[in-house]
Structure 1
Amino acid sequence: MLTDGSVVTVRAVGPRDLGELERLHSALSAEDRYLRFFGAASDTSVERFLRRLVEPGGAAVLALGAFAGERLVGVGHFEVVVPDVAEVAFLVEHARHARGVATLLLEHLAAAARRRGVRAFVAEVLAENAAMLRVFRDSGLPYEARLDGPSYQVKLSLDAGEPYYAEVSDRERVADTASLRRVLCPSSVAVVGASHRVSAVGHAVLRNLVEGGFTGTVHAVNRRGGEVCGLPASRSVADLPSAPDLAVLCVPAEQVPGVAEDCGRLGVRGLLVISAGITGRPAITDGLVGAVRRWGMRLVGPNSLGVANSDPGVRLDATFSAAGHPAGEVGLATQSGGVAIAVLERLAPLGLGTSTMVSTGDKYDVSGNDMLLWWERDDRTRIGVLYLESFGNPRKFAWLARRFCRRKPLVVLRSGASPVAQQAALSHTAAAVTPSSTREALLRQTGAIGVDDLDELVAVLASLSWQALPDGPRVAVVSNAGGLGVLTADACARAGLEFAALDRSAAELTTLLPDQASARNPVDTTAAVDAGTFGRAVEVVLHDPAVDAVIVPLLRTAVGDPLPGLVEAVTRARAAGCATPVLAVRAGQQESVTSLAVGEHRIPVFTDASLAARALADVTTHARWLARPQGVVPDLAHVDVPAARELVDAALTQLPSGGGWLDPRQVQDLLAAFGLPVVPSTVCTSEEDALAAFRAVSGSAALKVRADGVLHKARAGGVVLGIATVAELRAAWARLAAEFGARFRGAVLQPVVEPGRELLVGVYREAAFGPVVVLGLGGTDAELIADRSRRLVPLTDRDAHDMLHELRAAPHLVGPHADRPVDADAVVDVLLRAARMAELLPGVVEMDLNPVIVTDRGAQVPDARVRVEPREPDDPLIRRLRL
């Protein structure tokens, strides 16, 4: 998408595009021709130049064109001039200047160049060509420009990092929101298939548009004509008086491609396909996708419930929902129309509603990522909600969600985790990675709040809407029923909340409450206190600095009702500036969540203490994520990426076509290229080799078998430690040779490492999510103990720190109570280097550093396995539509 929201196709130009190239260049103004060719280039030289662009140039030359339909509106190309450096140039149709064509081409050229091993672009730009200089300067790539006579010599580094992707994401947001205005804020809508039958979907959509008070123009299209919902119906799209911003297709699946083509030809740029039965039928799917691509339309669906926007200036309800769309501050995007209806029906009784709702359906184009871009700058959206059954581009989602969550909360309703056949696990790392565990790592990394059901979703939305975020995890429970208070305390413990020590409040509570009451947390006021006393007890706890949130389970009894006291207490506390969150629990109420008015404020009231605790824990986790440092992807010293790439490429030429495991020498060299603390090893194919290597070892040595089919050497009995003499080495060699027989292929000899904690650091490339980094307890019992933390790449220093502290064993490894503390910085460094390898070397599909032996003075890697496959580098954040 360009900055104005229009869509172009970016692809390599070839011989069939020569005519369009000639047309583009012949239409140049004199000024544009001068800026492009540094003078009055002859027609012959221009023709020769154009023919070179369309000729196959291998890896050294690439020309990309931006096409609006079949019309070429811009071209960019690079040509390698010296190893790792290519010269780049651009030309854009004058009418398309300042719409981001050159910038978009630069992004795609840079990604393609990186795949070819190019590390930098150079360009010569005339000093008066301010627009082109601005494209380079604002790209986000490291930029140098030196004035040399009448022109600037420009150099761009292609080693993209966080600043570059931030700029790309900002540009995508501008373009994406511009294109989505036709879908979410249309000035006119046409319903194609607006049936006369009241029970038909097309009739329902048109009725909702009309009765919902849409502020724009509504058109009906029905092949029989007549009148539908009080509107005259055109017989076809072609008969419409003008092109609507949004066309809603409610026609049989077989008719969708033809109608989509008619819409594109008329000038429609937003398409909402309600029709189902398209996915899984290639001819229909290809026809729809082809029309959308050809005419540059944005597509919601197919198989969509519709879209809605409650903005008073729009009032769009292009759905067939009967639930209505009450206005509110929740942005909702869901693949399931049924889930959307269920959420809307649950929000309405609470006085909550949506700013925008998009049912993405089969998600051919517009997705949750698009809605994150829209909601991020939409002042009417305060909270985002996503229901995703699949992730189309998880790494882009991770980037966008992390940025979104810094501004607004994001709640993700997890889909059900049905049993999934797991890939054959060839390492401890692979065994530790599952789709559900990766999804949880993704949510944790981005700051999104993951919920498991509609009750929890509504509970979290109520808490976020009506309460401030807690400052920490310390909760106090105040109840007029001791048993209910204890059950609530148990629920808080299960949810991972901490209990506040009421040292400051205890004396005042003891004075205030009867003798049989409990002033300790959970506070039991007893049922005998009146509402005013109960309220004062709540107020005392609210003002205690050791309390971050208060849960108040209460019961109405024949003696009295504590609820008015709670209302008065919270009212006074809010008036005094106390924003500590309050959640109430009233067992027996029919709804899982209701609200209680407290002056100008509201507090959520739950029927179940467990639900209240889960909701509080969810928002507390989000608050903690917000409060922590954001972290950076640091520059790492002693990393030789070219050498590592060369090693992987060389190994792939020697391995079978599908790749395989690197040999120990290659593993050692690869880890060393990324600065990982690998223990020096020598591959020995004979006893004489082992003896020669042993003489170079100071101290004792370890001998590790190399045998066919042996993946975990220690478990197979293939490791001999503490070899101090030649005789012991000979005996160890003989034992391994005898034990493994025909499978024996030699051994690896290395110095014995100082004992320490054994950890596992691994990488596994998950099919949908890309590289996943795993940390856990290591050694032979790595899978048995199963204490793991996971993150996706790119990994920040904060992510790595959190991974270590998430382990259940963390208190025994780091911190004041660790019995044998480890060097936390060394663990973080190993994690960052392993993640960087996975990020920069797509051919590394699996890596097992097990064990990583960590002491209080550093870390060492005595054993590792690396599996490689032939894979093209991919840029998951490059701007492209899903279609």
Structure 2
Amino acid sequence: MSLDALFDPRSVAVVGASANPAKWGYWLASGALAGRRRRTVHLVNQRGGALDGVPFLPDLGAVPTPPEHVVVAVPPPQVRSVVVDGLAAGARCFTVITSGGSDPAEERELAALVTAHGGRLLGPNCMGVVDTTTELRLSWGDFPAGSVGLVSQSGSLALEIGRLLARAGQGFSRFVSLGNQRDIDAADALDALIGHEGTRVVAAYIEDFRDGRRLARTLTAAYAAGKPVLLLTLGRSAASGRAAASHTGALVSARAVVAAVCRDAGALLTESAGELADTAVLLAAAGERIGRLPIPRTDRAGGRPAPPRPLRVSVVGDSGGQGALAADALVSRGLDVPVLDEPTRIAVAAHLAGRAGGGNPVDLAGAGEADLRNYARIARALLEAGDTDATVLTGYFGDYATANPAQAGLECGVARELGEAARKAGRVLVVHTMARDTPALAVLREHGVPVYERIEQAATALAHAARLPCTPPQPPAALPRRSPGRRVADGAYESVRELLAAHGLAFPVAEFVTTADGAADAARRRTGYPLALKAMGLAHKSEAGGVALGIADEAALRAAFARMGAATGATRYAVERMAVHPYSVELIAGVRYDPAFGPVVMVGLGGVTAELHADTALALAPLTPGRARELLLSLRHAALLTGWRGAQPVDLDAAADALCALARAAVEHPELAELEVNPLLVHSGGALALDAHGVLRGRQVYGRSAVR
């Protein structure tokens, strides 16, 4: 359903309005009155009174015309009756500020009542909504106008972000405080920002992802619409607080899942309110130019994607020290400050005095003081040359008129030239300056040049922007219906092995036994020698002495069986044919069910050192073979798979198929909270699962065979 009544209603009624500035009702009422040129405003308070010449009405029944949007700021026991009255009066949208007093069931019932009448509900327990493009201010606090749309589960954090944006000459197009999300949730609010003409950058602080896959589709849609999304979240969730029942559980954190979703959807995950605001300023000012940066992200030569080329940055500093520190800040964040091409060095040096050279960083060495126009000349030479993607000007520019007001006109003119040079070249220009709130800085911002007070802000914003993908991301695949086959009874190796084999995973020949005689018979009939003996029913058998490898004959098998029985007390064992392949690599592959995002696939370097390496890649299940292959090649140690130092490369297609089969099994069996193969032995001839186990939902860890 449309959210037009939320952001641009024809009429608003504030129930709980107040003339006391210490009360929420005052800020909601005064904010509503600020937009009365655009809409009708009614103020309701059963005790009477007035604000700014507008009398308070006793209840919604006294409102002369139907209020399209009702803001509810009354004590908890009165909320339901106000909503009922609002629906009777014809309201289509409710923003419920009230917090406390209502249990979740009552809140859900309230939302159901509103939606059953074709309406929408924001909250309860929210801070309100602001749309600076429609003069709607239904919240407490100041919200500077700008082109950043924010959806937040924290009102105070929104105020902080707003102040940071304001200091940089930016602000909000829209702000939505989600509250308890009983109806309008993060995906709804973000969808509304994507289609909003006044919003250039979308930002969100989300703690509770609810339907994570729907949100992932929204993030993908935002990228497709040219609206970059900046996400800020916590590093904790119910999933991450649960004790890990497997290697997969230990290696897949809630934040890692969010990071993977953002990567695949084209969104940027930030670490703080400051990072979010700084990056939003850059993207709002120069987002179109950043989207056109010619940064080749992949090179398919040899069948393996090359790492993305770093964003190349040229630096112009008023002093050698400032330029060098700027270069250090950029390089430490993964950006490149390259040597300039000879023609560019010559073009830059033409505007420098004395022995100053045209290196990178460029040291102005007084050229700016000699003639302010040199700032524009040198920046233009760098922007038009094309050997770098962005230029950072660091130092004093913007502050000359503070010391000498006679230079105000000239400095503003140079600022205008800088902005025009960046626009004409189609490249990014960023200014770091010790000045603050001067006319020249205002001119820079008007011409799409972001300005920062600290060089690390500029460097971080550029580094985040450089992570935007060049190719449109694909929305997550829909989850297929559950398999009509039988549910997995337990997570033990036998059961999981049978399940995965049915989905196409290959395992060594094996037989499960309870006695030493049975083991010897299995070796004669099925596996041959050498073989592996593994005790069933233990969580970590390697440490407990529950695995023996390379058993060469029956005598060694019986001896191993006796030792293992004494050490583990196991009553059931697996006798497996040894799998030995030259140039093989052990991987770990797992799927963990995330409460928000559903099944999440993890692949990484495996075996007993899986947690030590912590070299993993994540994606939402199910997978396509192409996506599975990309995950494998994104590992830090992917060179081990493609032929490290002359080794034979593994069969990547077989490895990818194994990942797809594992993901498919997990998707079709949601009764499994975790499903894991470790190790998955990949080699030039295929992929072989050497161990597997699962964890049923609501259960403790089930017995699994040890990794080897």
The two structures have a TM-score, normalised by structure 2, of 0.84
Instruction: List gaps (5 residues or longer) in structure 2.
Output: 296-309, 700-708
Say whether the 8 Å CA contact 1:596–1:602 is kept in structure 2: no
Q: Are the aligned partners of 1:495 and 1:617 in contact in 2 as well (CA < 8 Å)?
A: yes
Aligned residue number for residue 672 of structure 1 = 501
Tell me what 2:447 maps to.
601
- Counterpart of 1:483 (choices 315, 321, 326) is 321
Question: Which residue in 2 is equivalent to 1:261?
Answer: 84
| 1:771 Cα deviation from its structure 2 partner | 1.9
Task: Check whether the contact 1:701–1:752 (CA below 8 A) recurs between aligned residues.
Answer: no
What is the distance in 2 between the residues matched to 1:503 and 1:804? 37
Task: Pick from 599, 610, 618 the counterpart of residue 771 of structure 1.
Answer: 599
Cα gap change, 1:206/1:739 in structure 2, threshold over 3 Å: closer, same or farther? closer
Structure 2 SS opposite 1:602 = coil
Question: Structure 1 counterpart of 2:430, which letter?
Answer: L
Deviation at 1:443, TM superposition (A): 2.0
The change in CA–CA distance for 1:673 and 1:288 in structure 2 (over 3 A counts) is same
* Residue pair 2:376, 2:417 contacting (<8 A) in 1 also: yes
Q: Distance in 2 between matches of 1:283 and 1:400?
A: 27
CA shift, 1:283, in A, is 8.3
Unaligned runs of 5+ in 1: 1-175, 653-659, 872-883
User: Structure 1 residue 307 and structure 2 residue 129: aligned?
Assistant: yes
Between Structure 1 and Structure 2, how many residues are aligned?
Answer: 667
State how far apart, in whole Å, the 2-side matches of 1:681 and 1:438 are: 35
Q: Which residue of structure 2 aligns with residue 411 of structure 1?
A: 229
* 3-state secondary structure, aligned to 1:781: helix
Aligned twin of 1:662: 492
Q: Which amino acid in 1 is paired with 2:638?
A: A
Alignment partners' CA distance in 1, 2:643 and 2:285: 36
CA contact (8 A) 1:705 1:744 kept: no
Q: Could you tell me how far apart the structure 2 residues matched to 1:807 and 1:360 are? A: 37
Say whether the 8 Å CA contact 1:849–1:861 is kept in structure 2: yes
Q: What one-letter code is carried by the residue in structure 1 that aligns with 2:491?
A: W
| Segment of structure 1 superposing worse, 810-819 or 330-339 | 810-819
**Separation (CA, whole Å) in 1 of partners of 2:148 and 2:322:** 32
* Counterpart mapping for 1:771-810 below 5 A: 771-795=599-623, 799-810=627-638
Aligned to 1:457: 276
Q: 1:571 to 1:444 in 2, by over 3 A?
A: closer
In structure 1, the partner of 2:674 is 846
Alpha carbons of 1:831 and 1:304: their partners in 2 closer, same or farther (altered >3 Å)? Answer: same
- Of 137, 152, 160, 1:317 maps to 137
Give secondary structure in 1 for the equivalent of 2:425. coil
Alignment pair present for 1:615 and 2:452:
no
Distance 1:602 1:373, change over 3 A: closer
Preserved contact between residue 684 and residue 749 of structure 1 (Cα < 8 Å): no
Contact 1:307 1:359 in 2 (8 A): yes
Cα distance, 1:370 vs structure 2: 0.5
Tell me if the contact between 2:392 and 2:430 (Cα under 8 Å) persists in the aligned partners: yes
Equivalence for 2:391: 550
Distance 1:582 1:815, change over 3 A: farther
Equivalent residue for 1:830?
Answer: 658
The aligned residue for residue 82 of structure 1 is: none
Q: Residue 428 of structure 1 corresponds to which residue in structure 2?
A: 247
Contact 2:126 2:180 (C-alpha < 8 Å) held by counterparts = yes
| Higher mean C-alpha displacement, 835-844 vs 825-834 | 825-834
**What is the SS of the residue equivalent to 2:157?**
helix
- Compute the displacement of 1:463 (Å): 0.9
Residue equivalent to 2:149: 331
Partner of 2:96: 273
TM-superposed deviation, 1:598: 4.9
Q: Which whole-Å deviations, capped at 9, do the CAs of 1:562-586 have from their partners, x for residues lacking one? A: 98898587456446x4212122222
- Taking the TM superposition and a 5 Å limit, the aligned residue runs for 1:112-127 are none
Give the C-alpha shift of residue 532 in structure 1.
Answer: 5.2
Give the match for residue 375 of structure 1.
193
Could you say which residue in structure 1 is the equivalent of 2:431?
Answer: 584
Cα 1:301–1:634, aligned 2, differ >3 Å: closer, same or farther? Answer: closer
Deviation at residue 711 of structure 1 after TM alignment: 2.3
Check conservation: 1:256, 1:288, Cα contact below 8 A: no
**SS of corresponding position for 1:218:** strand
**Per-residue Cα deviation, 1:489-547 (whole angstroms, up to 9, x for no partner):** 33223322244453455653686457855655444454567555565444343334442
Letter in 2 for 1:550: T
Instruction: State yes or no: 1:230 paired with 2:230.
Output: no
AA aligned to 1:753 is V
**Residue 358 to residue 318, structure 1, CA distance change in 2 (3 Å):** same
Q: Residues 831 and 554 from structure 1, CA distance in 2 versus in 1: closer, same or farther, beyond 3 angstroms?
A: farther
RMSD: 3.7
Q: Residues 278 and 285 of structure 1 are in contact (CA less than 8 Å); yes or no, is this contact kept in structure 2?
A: no
Cα distance in 1 between the residues matched to 2:445 and 2:126: 41
Counterpart contact for 2:236–2:254, Cα < 8 Å: no
**Match of 1:442, as an amino acid?**
V
- Counterpart CA distance in 1 for 2:557 and 2:343 is 69
Paired residues of 2:313 and 2:391 also in contact (CA < 8 A)? yes
Post-superposition shift, 1:629?
6.2
* 1:393 lines up with 2:215 in the alignment: no
| Aligned-partner residue type, residue 478 of structure 1 | V
- Aligned counterparts, 1:534-545, within 5 A: 535-545=376-386
Amino acid at match of 1:320: W
Q: Which residue is 1:627 aligned to? A: 471
What CA distance in whole angstroms lies between the structure 2 residues aligned with 1:802 and 1:409? 25
User: 1:333 is paired with a residue of what secondary structure?
Assistant: strand
Please report how far the alpha carbon of residue 213 of structure 1 lies from its aligned counterpart in structure 2 after TM superposition: 3.6
The answer to whether the 8 A contact 1:401-1:448 is kept is yes
The 8 Å contact of residues 265 and 295 in structure 1, kept in 2 or not, is answered as: no
In 2, the alpha carbon distance for the partners of 1:842 and 1:518 equals: 65
Q: 2:262 is paired with a residue of what secondary structure?
A: helix
CA distance in 2, matches of 1:377, 1:334: 18
Counterpart among 646, 656, 674 of residue 485 in structure 2: 646
Which amino acid in structure 2 is aligned with residue 457 of structure 1? L
What SS does the aligned partner of 2:574 have? strand
TM-aligned CA deviation for residue 200 of structure 1: 2.8
On the 8 A contact 1:479/1:485 being kept in 2, the answer is: yes
Classify 1:549/1:341 alpha carbon distance in 2 versus 1 (closer, same or farther; 3 Å). Answer: same
Alignment of 1:165-176 (within 5 A): 176=1
CA distance in 2, matches of 1:316, 1:568: 33
